[in-house]
Amino acid sequence: MGVTVIAIIDYDAGNIKSVEKAMSLLGQEAVVTRDKETILSADKVILPGVGSFGDAMEKIRQYGLEPVIRQVAGSGTPFLGICLGLQLLFEESGESPGVPGLGILKGKIVRIPESEGRKVPHMGWNSLEFPVKGRLFHGLSGEPYVYFVHSYYLEAADEQIVTAVTEYGVRIHASVEQGNVFACQFHPEKSSDTGIHILKNFVEL
């Protein structure tokens, strides 16, 4: 595996360090940046994120990153959204009514319903099923376990882009792929060997 320059978009999000660490574990050169030229010249781009949808969109707009993210998404450069980074790619979230998301992909983010014995946020390991085996999951068999931390989940408008689902009282669209745009609701960087396998697949795209 050759060294790839990976830009990790810095908009003051929570899980940037762990993503950077996972990349260096894979022997990749990761640059945490909000510099437009650096992002646009990278071989791969990652949009991480932990926190609130509204706050994150405010930061992305404040730092002038929205047009840059759109440009990457339209350029053919492999792009990966992680956790909140998945949610931001869609049109809207029930967490922050009235705040438009990036709208690069069609769908909405809705709150996980609470019920007896099921806590929200959903924290912990859940198994994935693959309605369509996306490129991120190449070489994984069975129903591998990955690590989730979230209170809101994706309902994609087009189920054709959904490459992994999980159950937590509701059917959660856990990963999507459309062209060069990939995203995971779970944290591959915290999902042990399975997660590193997924990130390695992304790096090798």
Active site residue 187: yes
- Residues lower than pLDDT 70 in the chain: 1-2
CATH number for the domain running over 5-203? 3.40.50.880
Q: Round to whole Å and give the CA distance between 92 and 97.
A: 7
Q: Round to whole Å and give the CA distance between 78 and 126.
A: 26
Active site residue 83: yes
Residues in the chain: 205
The pLDDT, as a whole number, for residue 198 is 98
Q: Round to whole Å and give the CA distance between 110 and 198.
A: 25
pTM of the model: 0.96
The pLDDT, as a whole number, for residue 2 is 65
Distances (CA, A) of 130 to 47, 143, 191: 23, 8, 17
Active site residue 189: yes
Amino acid at residue number 176: V
The pLDDT, as a whole number, for residue 117 is 81
Selecting among 83, 92, 150, 173, the annotated active-site residue is 83
Residues 6+ apart with CB under 8 A from 94: 108, 109, 110, 111, 152
Selecting among 122, 177, 189, 197, the annotated active-site residue is 189
Selecting among 129, 138, 187, 204, the annotated active-site residue is 187
